[in-house]
Structure 1
Amino acid sequence: MTRRARLPLVLLLGAVLAGCSGYSGLGYYWQAAAGHVRLMRDARPVAEVMADPATPAPLKQKLELTQRIRRYASDELGLPDNSSYTRYADLHRPAALWNVVAAPTDSLTLKTWCFPVAGCVGYRGYYALADAQQEATALREQGLEVAVYPVPAYSTLGWLDWAGGDPLLSSFIGYPEGELARLIFHELAHQVVYVAGDTMFNESFATSVERLGGSSWLRTHAGAQARETYAAFDAQRQQFRALALDTRRRLAAVYAQKADTDEARASMTANKLAVMADFRERYAALRAGWAGPRQRAYDGWVERANNALFATQAAYDELVPGFEALFEQESRKTSAPWPAFFARVRQLADLPKDERDRALREAARGLSAPMQSASFDSAR
């Protein structure tokens, strides 16, 4: 994607943020641009924050950790070495923004919002929760299944490096070490490859980078306690992810049935409700064997689970095995596979969507073994 650093700030922000979060109408354009301007204005250099006597010691320790993670991202993973994550902003709110997602009652296909520069995306972001909830209400009135979830961080795709890049945020700085590393790797991956209008390709690629890079960081740079903490989080995440994937497949099978009569539609609805009820029962059984705070976050996801949330999860997971297979192929050839992996992904990005999706699914079928991973979840 071509960077146009000489565009006026407000126009560039409108292009990037409206494109990343969906665009429709001047009001949405303005809240996206204004929200990011406020975020950038509040960001201070990490060195300045760490030197401030008023900065709490735990925050200083986290900021120091992020700078080591940031150097690792550039030196070892080949991710962009720029100004991103060298500044910090206290948002005084729990999320950077809130995404609204929607899907039909009989489909796992996300509603999309389109923008001329970044294409069509399956989510719409708001800097105020009330605005997101208002949009969600309007979509429900259209008969769609809707979800609103907090987003701890987002990428401006490297377009705003000249303005300070993407800052570290209070919405995620408190994450455990493994989670913090994977989030930074994920967002930086969006600066490596971004395909306009293909949310699943973009998010699955970034998720594969966070999984592979996060695993490498923990193995080579983290202490035993950080690895143990991450392992406890990730074990629950992997179990939940497997359950969600199985449920998505079962729902897809239900929706594939013809529903051209009242009787068929009633049958589809009954089958859908049965799958959802079974999902919640299986989750309850899974949860009973868990320990630690992570389970409470998943409780909310399961309570709100609908087509929109399942479809969003798919965008972050669906093509990941294919990307992992490409990385494994390059790892067999060289001890430094990241540049070759990124080159392969850029080649895929140049193909038509159906061809690159097919190539990734074919690669996934040849993956020799599952790789250690983490994944997106809106209950993060």
Structure 2
Amino acid sequence: MKIALRSAHIILVAATLVVSGCAELAYYGHAAAGQLEVMNNRRPIPEVIADPQTPAVLREHLQYIEKAHAFAIHELHLPDTASYRSYSDVGRPYVLWNVFATPEFSLRQKQWCYPFVGCHGSRPFFNEQCAHELADDLRAQGWDVHVAPSPAYSTRGWFADPVYNSVLRYPALDSAAILFHELAHEKVYLENDSQANESFAMTVQLEGVQRWLAHQQQGGDFADYALNRQRDEVFIGLLLEYRSRLLELYASQKPPRYMRAAKRRILNRLRRAYRALKEGWHGYAGYDHWFKKGLNNAVLAPVGTYHQDVPAFQALLAQQQGNLPAFYRVVAKLADMEAGQRRRLLDKLSAAHPRYKYSGTTSSMAVGVPNLDGKGSSQTLSTVSDR
């Protein structure tokens, strides 16, 4: 308890020293209180497993997570730290709610800068109402806004991050995918480059899940995973295609009235294209939630953050013949590179190794395993769609 209090106090004092204004101080107070709650709720996973009061389903899921964590350390060469060795039930369905905002005619995400960790294209809250209050304020100022729940987050080793109850709401394989993703953030961090960071972590997540399934020798699960990956890549390609059409529109610098109408047409075409895709998938509804949010720039912008550089990082991994330690060393060198030079290199690699392609045609694939809503599972999109 003393350690947790001292850590939270350090966060709040440091924040007070580097920011000004009541709103900022209130935010950092909220963040410190939320982090303190998470830390105080932690229990060692072996203790939870051994507790006779622990429900059998939770016990089995935590045992699965322990095995996936050991695999991540020994086979994926991810950090062996105090993170993900404890369990925290925060008493709500998600641990965070992230606010994303973009200008009306841009896909460039609003940046918020934080002590120690740099700038990011989202504002996280431990309280959903607080997130929506900020979203309403930004919307009133003319921003496109999106609030996305998150089952997990990484403090990049500043604290011993736990496994949250929100992670365990997902199927076991998705929980392992989230674990690999968050551990990747502890392995390498590219300062002030959200797109590279998230795409790197997504690359590790995808590779990790594939190797984990092979290690488990779960043929049925691997077939479901391959099916979901195929669908995911088509769907991501669809989103990136219409995202690029918006980018082209905004680069035209036409009058606002023209761009507003053209933007509306592009988003309506995206909805129609998805309906056609869904028909080709025999009504598979696993991505319907994307279109219930109210499409805007802030919904589509993070798709680029989490996926735009994945082909580049997968190409770098292939160049190392799948050797993960060598791959991590290459990414660490990228982290030390000047930001503009790194961006040019990643863009060149992605262009040379296109991954997500939407041809405008549909595919007759069967429905895979159910997710939380019983509408299909997706290890690829599980993280980005909830953030």
Give TM-score, length-normalised by structure 2: 0.85
Partner residue, 1:42: 41
Q: Are the structure 2 counterparts of residues 273 and 185 from structure 1 closer, same or farther at C-alpha, using a change threshold of 3 Å?
A: same
**Counterpart amino acid of residue 355 in structure 1:** Q
Q: Is the 8 A contact 1:205 1:319 kept in 2?
A: yes
- Residue 49 of structure 1 and its aligned partner are, at CA, apart by 0.7
Partner residue, 1:102: 101
Partner residue, 2:174: 179
Partner residue, 1:147: 146
Q: Are the structure 2 counterparts of residues 319 and 117 from structure 1 closer, same or farther at C-alpha, using a change threshold of 3 Å?
A: same
Q: Is the 8 A contact 2:15 2:25 kept in 1?
A: no
Q: Is the 8 A contact 1:179 1:230 kept in 2?
A: no
Q: Are the structure 2 counterparts of residues 15 and 369 from structure 1 closer, same or farther at C-alpha, using a change threshold of 3 Å?
A: farther
Q: Which moved more, 1:264-273 or 1:79-88?
A: 264-273
Measure the CA separation in 1 of the matches of 2:198 and 2:67.
Answer: 24
Partner residue, 2:272: 281
Secondary structure at the counterpart of residue 120 of structure 1: strand
Report Cα offsets for 1:59-83 as digits up to 9, x if no partner: 1111111011001111011100112
Measure the CA separation in 1 of the matches of 2:221 and 2:15.
Answer: 34
Measure the CA separation in 2 of the matches of 1:97 and 1:379.
Answer: 10
Q: Does 1:377 align with 2:366?
A: no
Report Cα offsets for 1:21-63 as digits up to 9, x if no partner: xx96111001111101111111111111111111111111111
Measure the CA separation in 2 of the matches of 1:196 and 1:188.
Answer: 16
Q: Which moved more, 1:220-229 or 1:151-160?
A: 220-229
Q: Determine what percentage of the aligned residue pairs are the same residue.
A: 38
- Residue 267 of structure 1 and its aligned partner are, at CA, apart by 2.1
Selected match of 1:9 from 1, 7, 13: 7
**Counterpart amino acid of residue 135 in structure 2:** A
Q: Which moved more, 1:168-177 or 1:131-140?
A: 168-177
Measure the CA separation in 1 of the matches of 2:379 and 2:201.
Answer: 12
Secondary structure at the counterpart of residue 99 of structure 2: strand
Partner residue, 1:218: 213
Secondary structure at the counterpart of residue 195 of structure 1: coil
Q: Are the structure 2 counterparts of residues 244 and 7 from structure 1 closer, same or farther at C-alpha, using a change threshold of 3 Å?
A: same
Selected match of 2:337 from 317, 336, 351: 351
Secondary structure at the counterpart of residue 378 of structure 1: helix
Q: Are the structure 2 counterparts of residues 49 and 373 from structure 1 closer, same or farther at C-alpha, using a change threshold of 3 Å?
A: closer
For 1:177-216, list aligned pairs within 5 A.
177-216=172-211
Q: Is the 8 A contact 2:49 2:59 kept in 1?
A: yes
Partner residue, 2:359: none
For 1:24-43, list aligned pairs within 5 A.
25-43=24-42
Measure the CA separation in 1 of the matches of 2:246 and 2:316.
Answer: 29
Q: Are the structure 2 counterparts of residues 354 and 46 from structure 1 closer, same or farther at C-alpha, using a change threshold of 3 Å?
A: same
Partner residue, 1:267: 258
**Structure 1 regions of 5+ residues with no counterpart?**
none
Measure the CA separation in 2 of the matches of 1:256 and 1:365.
Answer: 20
Q: Are the structure 2 counterparts of residues 369 and 237 from structure 1 closer, same or farther at C-alpha, using a change threshold of 3 Å?
A: closer
Partner residue, 1:63: 62
Measure the CA separation in 1 of the matches of 2:354 and 2:125.
Answer: 41
Partner residue, 1:234: 229
Q: Does 1:134 align with 2:140?
A: no
Partner residue, 1:300: 289
Measure the CA separation in 2 of the matches of 1:103 and 1:358.
Answer: 23
Measure the CA separation in 1 of the matches of 2:97 and 2:179.
Answer: 19
Secondary structure at the counterpart of residue 187 of structure 2: coil
Q: Is the 8 A contact 1:237 1:374 kept in 2?
A: yes
Measure the CA separation in 2 of the matches of 1:59 and 1:232.
Answer: 27
Q: Are the structure 2 counterparts of residues 138 and 368 from structure 1 closer, same or farther at C-alpha, using a change threshold of 3 Å?
A: closer
Q: Are the structure 2 counterparts of residues 291 and 78 from structure 1 closer, same or farther at C-alpha, using a change threshold of 3 Å?
A: farther
**Counterpart amino acid of residue 33 in structure 1:** A
- Residue 10 of structure 1 and its aligned partner are, at CA, apart by 1.8
**Counterpart amino acid of residue 314 in structure 2:** E
Secondary structure at the counterpart of residue 295 of structure 1: coil
Measure the CA separation in 2 of the matches of 1:221 and 1:213.
Answer: 12
- Residue 190 of structure 1 and its aligned partner are, at CA, apart by 0.5
Q: Is the 8 A contact 1:194 1:202 kept in 2?
A: yes
Give TM-score, length-normalised by structure 1: 0.87
Q: Are the structure 2 counterparts of residues 77 and 191 from structure 1 closer, same or farther at C-alpha, using a change threshold of 3 Å?
A: same
- Residue 214 of structure 1 and its aligned partner are, at CA, apart by 1.3
Selected match of 1:327 from 313, 317, 323: 317
Partner residue, 1:360: 346
- Residue 166 of structure 1 and its aligned partner are, at CA, apart by 0.9
- Residue 248 of structure 1 and its aligned partner are, at CA, apart by 0.5
For 1:107-122, list aligned pairs within 5 A.
107-122=106-121
Q: Is the 8 A contact 1:102 1:145 kept in 2?
A: yes
Secondary structure at the counterpart of residue 385 of structure 2: coil
- Residue 194 of structure 1 and its aligned partner are, at CA, apart by 1.3
Measure the CA separation in 2 of the matches of 1:107 and 1:201.
Answer: 19
Q: Are the structure 2 counterparts of residues 171 and 240 from structure 1 closer, same or farther at C-alpha, using a change threshold of 3 Å?
A: same
- Residue 236 of structure 1 and its aligned partner are, at CA, apart by 3.5
Report Cα offsets for 1:122-155 as digits up to 9, x if no partner: 1001111100010001001110010101010000
